[in-house]
Chain A
């Protein structure tokens, strides 16, 4: 069964605007971690932001914030003030009690000038 679902294969956003990338997950474990990674065309996987299942507040890292809605099992990534360099693939991932980090299918974000 798919554990991580990213329903947006591709997204477009105008430079300087905000964009939300969707991620829903499925787990019965009470303890889990949610991660977002950015993969530019060069291929490297860049860690962006992390949210723990017990964290009371939404995680924020600079222009990135995670809209964590535990009851809905969603962990959407919000990028504010988009820049051209934000164009990349974005992966949502989850780790449960074991070591296996599972990734969603990814969303390709294109920032338009």
Chain B
């Protein structure tokens, strides 16, 4: 079965550079979530989209922005990168929203800022 696809899997950037992470949800899933997981930490919710509209916002820095496109894929844009942005970034998708909705995660993008 198709899963959530994230690209790239690994990314190395220098401080103050920009990065774009991509997420392709499971086919027919209309909701996408972004999470950031620092080393040895639990995943922190950044932002989510439902039907191409932002549905919820977590601890996403102002330097980051995201959107969901007409084909439901999503991109997380990160500017003015800082060393502290080094983390594993997960995208998850689900069909619909709500507390009973199962979310499936991609394999993550490991971002290293040097």
Bound together, the chains give a CA A37 to CA B92 distance in angstroms of: 12
Q: Which B residues, 16 to 63, have Cβ-Cβ distances below 8 Å to chain A?
A: 31, 33, 41-45, 48, 50, 55-56, 58
Chain A residues in the interface with B (C-beta under 8 A): 29, 31-33, 35, 37, 42-47, 50, 52-53, 91, 95-106
Q: How far is the CA of A31 from the CA of B107 in the complex (A)?
A: 29
- B49 (CB) vs chain A CBs: closest residue: A99
| Residues A29 and B99 in contact, CB atoms below 8 Å apart | yes
Min CB–CB distance A55 → chain B (angstroms): 9
Q: What total count of A-B pairs have CB within 8 Å? A: 69
Q: Are B99 and A43 closer than 8 Å at their CB atoms?
A: no
Q: How far is the CA of A104 from the CA of B58 in the complex (A)?
A: 16
Contacts A45-B108, A100-B45 given; indicate if A33 touches B100 (C-beta within 8 A).
yes
Tell me the B70-111 residues at the A interface (CB within 8 Å).
88, 90, 92, 97-108, 110
How far apart sit A32 and B110, CA to CA, in the bound complex (Å)? 30
How far does the Cβ of B111 sit from chain A's closest Cβ, in whole Å?
12
Chain B residues in the interface with A (C-beta under 8 A): 31, 33, 41-45, 48, 50, 55-56, 58, 88, 90, 92, 97-108, 110
* B108 pairs with A43, CB closer than 8 A: yes
Bound state CA distance, A95 and B45, in angstroms?
Answer: 11
Q: Is B102 a contact of A44 with CB atoms below 8 Å?
A: no
User: With contacts A100-B56, A101-B92 known, what are 14 further pairs, Cβ within 8 A?
Assistant: A29-B99, A33-B100, A33-B102, A44-B108, A46-B105, A47-B104, A52-B99, A52-B100, A95-B101, A97-B98, A99-B48, A99-B50, A100-B48, A103-B44
Write out the residue numbers on chain B whose beta carbons fall within 8 Å of the beta carbon of A35: 102-103
CB of A95 within 8 A of CB of B99, answer: yes
Instruction: Determine the chain A residues whose CB is within 8 A of the CB of B58 once the complex forms.
Output: 100
Contact B99 A32 (CB under 8 A): yes
Known A-B contacts A52-B100, A99-B33, A99-B56; A106 and B105 likewise in contact (beta carbons under 8 Å): no
Tell whether A91 pairs with B42 under 8 Å between CB atoms, given A43-B88, A98-B56, A100-B56: yes
| Distance, CA A87 to CA B50, complexed state (A) | 34
